[in-house]
Amino acid sequence: MLLDDLVAFRSEEVLHSLFSSHVLGMLLSFLFHGASMSELDLCTLIEDFGDETKCRSYIERLRWPNGIACPACKSDKISRIIKRHQFDCDACRYQFSATAGTIFHDTHLPLWKWFLATYLLCESRKGMSANQMKRQLKISYKTAWYLCHRIRAAMLETAQEKLGGTVEIDETYVGGKARRWRPRSDKQVVIGIRQRNGDLRMIRAKDAKSATVRQIIDANIGGHVEVIMTDESAIYPWALDELKRGVHKTINHTREYAHGDIHTNTVESAFSLLKRGIVGTWHKVSAKHLPAYLDEMCFRFNNRKNDFLFRDTMLKLIGSPNLEYKHLTAKVQDAA
């Protein structure tokens, strides 16, 4: 009897040390949340999500981390229909799948190609064009273009907190060059706002007038801002309200690019990344879809240190509404 108690005690001690270990914590995190971006590479992605069953299992774990529940009556009494990859609710008899009600429902594209496309858009620092996605996944250009835009739409951040602390603001122009035979340039105005050691916002504006810029600043910068840094453009003194003018500092780019801590180099580096993406990856971005590319760039930039970027993007895909193709191909809307 004493020997049995000793064995039980030793077993309990080993299990306790195992459950408190960092290795098991990483294993459980992988099982329930997926590999982190630092651990997930292309080979691992293919090994872990190389078929439909593995992809459905992963979507199931992300969608119902506390156990499968019926979308209709919320009951947790569920039976599996293995051959059809579906579930049957024992309470209301509603039948559903792991992809029902998500962006993956009724898709004609294999789930593993969705996973691969999502990983490529998360991992590519300057984005990925639809043509390159077409070649990588061996799909048509139309399918690749639609796929990329649906993932970009899911990346859109809603209800973002306003920026504060030290904030830099600058404007840039994206698009075609002015020609002698054109009445005006086709360039689009992009306002960049970046909080130092914080998030980035890039917003397409209908023009670079102070009234338009003021609306964008008020929507993205809170009252807890400490310093606002811009260049000496004439639009900013008029675009800032009285409170923000009190913390406004400028740098004269005709003389210097930085004066101590006063500069706009961090927001300009984000513009540089955007333009390298347009010139080197996308090659041409229409005025209508420019906000989607800006949202993608900001989402990837703001999550550049997120070890679970792939998992978080998949969660956004699961929870996002379906973007219809007819909406993407509709007429150009006015700039916000």
Q: How confident is the model at residue 334 (pLDDT cuts 50, 70, 90)?
A: very low
Look at residue 242 in the predicted model and tell me its pLDDT. 87
Query: SS3 of 301, please?
Result: helix
Tell me the whole-structure pTM to 2 decimals.
0.83
For the cut 50, the answer to whether the pLDDT of residue 16 exceeds it is: no
For the cut 50, the answer to whether the pLDDT of residue 313 exceeds it is: yes
Name the token pair of 95. 């039948």
Look at residue 267 in the predicted model and tell me its pLDDT. 95
The CA distance from 14 to 9, in Å, is: 9
Look at residue 263 in the predicted model and tell me its pLDDT. 93
C-alpha distance from residue 189 to each of 42, 57, 172, 213, 276 (Å): 36, 44, 6, 10, 17
Contact between 144 and 137 (Cβ < 8 Å)? yes
pLDDT digits (tens, 9 = 90+) for 211-226: 999 999 999 999 899 9
Average pLDDT over residues 237-250: 91
For the cut 80, the answer to whether the pLDDT of residue 32 exceeds it is: no
pLDDT digits (tens, 9 = 90+) for 126-163: 999 999 999 999 999 999 999 999 999 999 887 789 99
Cα 51 → chain centroid: 25
Look at residue 25 in the predicted model and tell me its pLDDT. 39
Check residues 38 and 305 and name the one with the higher pLDDT. 305
Name the token pair of 159. 């209800």
For the cut 60, the answer to whether the pLDDT of residue 5 exceeds it is: no
The CA distance from 268 to 270, in Å, is: 5
Lowest-confidence pick of 25-29, 174-178, 286-290: 25-29
Query: SS3 of 174, please?
Result: strand
Look at residue 121 in the predicted model and tell me its pLDDT. 94
Check residues 184 and 35 and name the one with the higher pLDDT. 184
Average pLDDT over residues 45-57: 91
Contact between 230 and 252 (Cβ < 8 Å)? no
For the cut 50, the answer to whether the pLDDT of residue 66 exceeds it is: yes
Look at residue 322 in the predicted model and tell me its pLDDT. 86
Cross-strand bridge partners of residue 193: 169, 201
Look at residue 2 in the predicted model and tell me its pLDDT. 42
The CA distance from 129 to 133, in Å, is: 6
The CA distance from 225 to 162, in Å, is: 9
Look at residue 40 in the predicted model and tell me its pLDDT. 80
Look at residue 178 in the predicted model and tell me its pLDDT. 62
pLDDT digits (tens, 9 = 90+) for 92-101: 999 999 999 8
H-type helices in the chain, by residue range? 2-19, 22-33, 42-48, 52-63, 111-123, 130-137, 141-155, 210-220, 235-239, 242-245, 265-277, 290-302, 309-319, 325-328
For the cut 50, the answer to whether the pLDDT of residue 15 exceeds it is: no
DSSP at 68: -
Average pLDDT over residues 101-120: 93
Name the token pair of 199. 């998030």
Phi, psi of 111 (to 5 degrees): -60, -35
Name the token pair of 328. 């993407």
Name the token pair of 4. 């049995």
Q: How confident is the model at residue 187 (pLDDT cuts 50, 70, 90)?
A: confident
